[in-house]
Amino acid sequence: MKKRTLSALLAGSLLAPCAFSAPLTDVDTLQVSARTLFPPEMKTVGEAAKWLLEPLGYHIVTDYPAPKSAKAILSHPIPTAARMHRTMPVTHALQLLIGQDNTLIVDREHKLITFSKGVML
């Protein structure tokens, strides 16, 4: 009995790494749910966007090659609708911050984000 148990444990320990050797799929961190519970001292869209993106390793770009309108969008006050406490994907929270009439531009490879005035198709 001991020999069988020992053999089973040995076989299991040799086969276990094979079961887990498949590569993991990449997770789109911008689709992870976040709570829109911004600290009260945050006043601008830029501060709130940075607060959402920093833990994910993303950086906001406002200088060239970003659109000229990016700085203006980020300087707006946080909309009342975005201050409501709820849970949603980060991209939805960002869109709520910048407004439906503006566009979120994402470079996932370099983890960069910027914003543009108007809707881009």
pLDDT in tens, the chain (121 residues): 666 665 655 555 665 555 556 665 677 888 888 888 889 999 999 999 999 999 999 999 999 998 899 999 999 999 988 888 889 999 999 999 999 899 999 999 999 999 999 876 6
- Domain parsing of the chain, residue ranges: 28-117
Using DSSP's 3-state secondary structure scheme, residue 57 falls into: coil
The percent helix, strand, coil of the chain (3-state, each to 5) is 45, 20, 40
Distance of CA 107 to the CA centre of its chain: 12
Strand order in the sheet with 59-60: 59-60, 112-117, 102-107
